Structure 1
Amino acid sequence: MNVLSLFDLKADQIHHVLKMAATIKAHPSGYLNVLKGKSIAMLFEKPSLRTRVTFEVGIQQMGGHAIYLDQKMIEPGGRESIQDIANNLSLWTDAIVARVFKHETLKELAGSKIPVINALCDIHHPCQTLADLLTIQERYPVDLRVVDILYLGEGNNVCQSFMVGAAALGLKLTVVTPEGYGPTPEIWQGIDEVYPNHNIRVINDLSEVQHADVVYTDTWVSMGSSMSDKEAVDVFGHLQVNQDLIERLQATTFLHCLPAHRGHEVTDEVLDGPISAVLQQAENRLYVQKALLHEVFNG
């Protein structure tokens, strides 16, 4: 079972992973041997704090062994082809967790005989979305379909994965992004085909939004982007999450996948303020990834 995007999980599987994550969080001692005897290759082309640490700690806590392989160590597609790397890893390890520049790399890795989990690529970030959804569930223990969620910024990998997750759970989501910076047509097509009754809209004018319970943003300049800080401010500056916006929308939760560029997409006052759930999100990365590994091997 590969998880290259949330499209690889049915809606009931996403619900199951979130329920499992909540259970693991509440009763971690019951899952100490889930990965006993298993070795997980962690293939990382891009730097990481939260993703690397939470996967390594989670694998260890469930009795498994994580093997970290970075860009310099194996040079995917350079010193050795992706296919050869995948085929070799499948001889020694039980799964691959990959954080890569291009989604195509994940597809090549998925040609191996062992499961592949997307730990971030240019199109999707499913592990982050699972943590986001768990965080929202914890903060709003009601029917989540009545929670108004607002995403501000570029229609990047975080945004696109969150859209898929929101569609799967039937959440009400508004994405505000400058014209020309929205999610790809392929993402829209996938959502429309799999979840035709979704409640997601993408608009360009923030003034159209009068209320939001949850406000979510991400860095304006994604890792590897050629856009300068000045260009980013020119394009996205009007979407900054500050206290005035929070008060106007009467928001009660602020989300950010981190790392944050303080003073750009969000002010210190909001990021460190009482409605910020960014550390809760970061903590929940551990539990949703443990649940996802459980699903991959035992689902």
Structure 2
Amino acid sequence: MKNILSDFDLSGQEIEDLLGLATKIKAAPASFKDSLKNKILGMVFQKPSTRTKASFEAAIYQLGGHAIFLDSTNSQISRGESLAETAKILSGYTNGIAARVYYQADLEDMAMASKVPIINALTDKYHTCQILSDLLTIKEKKGKLAELKLVYFGDAGNNVAHSLIISCSKVGIDVTIACPQNEKYQPSKDILVKAKRDVLGKIEITENWNAAAKDADILYTDTWVSMGMEKEKNERINDLMDYQINSKTLEKAKADCIVMHCLPAYTGYEISETVLKGPKSVVYEQAENKMHMQKAVLYQLMKD
């Protein structure tokens, strides 16, 4: 496993192996406290981050390593140095690089230039580590992955929806996307076609949120207004309001369903405050599990 640039880089078995490793590390952190001693993680973040940044930094420190953090304000990226050049230089100082960049193509250029593994910490197309940690949460809460039904509501043309479709279907979770017919809210057709070549679970797309929610084990949503879409806010809210996860959605799902959101959440829009803070919500477990999964990813890629 040289890089994790997208969910397509991982087989279903490799995902299961990472989940097993994350579970092991979470259960006995002291056994791994020096497993990456003196290893250095480079972090190149073009976009703001709270959970992803903090979880990667905490993960490498707790495994005995260190982090070097670069963003667009504290590096020569702000003066036009390319991400590929940055990765090439940084790879001479580090044992791995986690990159949160605007475009998937830039991440792939970084991988071509780097001598060390590159990890997707978010791009426009994929949010791979987020979904790996989400799968850890699902397995903890449900005791299994195969034959569960996950329903994603809202804007499905984003990185979270794409990664859910790919990774969940590889481990046997049936994924239903409930979103408007408007193409900008639909998953990428190219990603869908590619994802369907390697699936254990079903992948379905519908505009009928009511039918989609029926018998769901997992309800998932994400912000409707991602960074850079602020001018579209009113239009998006109007288009997507029917897809809010609220008490009506819960009534259709299974009684023991869980509710997930990668955060930050904007209550009153994609999810009601009552549901976000209610007993079915596992959003804070999701957030914590990012650190445990980042540990597994870093250990797997940087231990040698």
Q: TM-score when scaled to structure 2? A: 0.94
Counterpart in the other structure of 2:211: 208
**Structure 2, unaligned runs of 5 or more:** none
2:37 partner letter: K
1:10 CA displacement: 1.6
Matched AA of 2:85: D
Q: Which residue is equivalent to 1:185?
A: 189
Contact 2:175/2:201, CA 8 A, preserved across alignment: no
Whichever residue aligns with residue 269 of structure 2, its letter is H
Question: Structure 2 CA distance, aligned partners of 1:68 and 1:125?
Answer: 19
1:287–1:94 Cα change, 3 Å: same
How does 1:22-171 map onto structure 2 within 5 Å? Answer: 22-76=23-77, 78-111=79-112, 112-142=114-144, 144-155=145-156, 156-171=158-173
Deviation at 1:46, TM superposition (A): 0.5
Kept in 1, the 8 Å contact 2:84–2:109? The answer is yes
In 2: Cα distance, 1:298 partner to 1:163 partner: 29
* Count of residue pairs the alignment pairs up: 297
Query: 2:296 — aligned with what?
Result: 291
* Aligned twin of 2:269: 264
CA distance in structure 1 between the partners assigned to 2:24 and 2:146 by the alignment: 22
Matches within 5 A, 1:12-31: 12-31=13-32
Q: In angstroms, what is the RMSD of aligned CA positions? A: 1.5
Deviation at 1:75, TM superposition (A): 4.8
Q: What's the offset of the Cα at 1:227?
A: 4.4
- Partner secondary structure for residue 59 of structure 1: helix
8 A contact 1:221–1:227 mirrored in 2: no
- Provide Cα deviations, 1:206-244, integer angstroms capped at 9, x if missing partner: 132222121000001112225432111111000011112
Aligned partner letter, 1:235: D
CA offsets per residue over residues 158-193 of structure 1, 9 Å max, x none? 010011111110111111111111110121122122
For structure 1, which segment, 57-66 or 176-185, has the greater mean C-alpha deviation from structure 2 after superposition?
176-185
The residue matched to 1:42 in structure 2 has which SS? Answer: strand
Moved more, 180-189 or 256-265: 180-189
Code of the residue aligned with 1:192 in structure 2: it is: K
**Greater shift in the superposed pair: 179-188 or 245-254:** 245-254
| Alpha-carbon distance in structure 1 between the residues aligned to 2:19 and 2:139 | 9
Give percent identity, aligned residues only: 39
Q: Does the C-alpha gap of structure 1 residues 92 and 275 become closer, same or farther in structure 2, counting only changes over 3 Å?
A: same
Deviation at 1:85, TM superposition (A): 1.2
Deviation of 1:194 after TM superposition, in Å, equals 2.9
Q: Does 1:241 align with 2:242?
A: no
Native 8 Å contact 1:24 1:287 kept in 2: yes
Q: Is the 8 A contact 1:103 1:122 kept in 2?
A: yes
Aligned mates of 1:77, 1:178 — CA distance in 2: 38
Shift of 1:6: 1.4
Matched, 1:250 2:251: no
8 Å contact kept, 1:254–1:277? yes
Are the equivalent residues in 2 in contact too, given 1:256–1:278 (CA < 8 A)? Answer: yes
Between the aligned partners of 1:37 and 1:200, the Cα distance in structure 2 is: 43
Deviates more, 1:62-71 or 1:239-248: 239-248
Q: Which residue of 2 aligns with 1:3?
A: 4
Letter of the 1:200 counterpart: I
Q: Distance in 1 between matches of 2:47 and 2:207?
A: 31
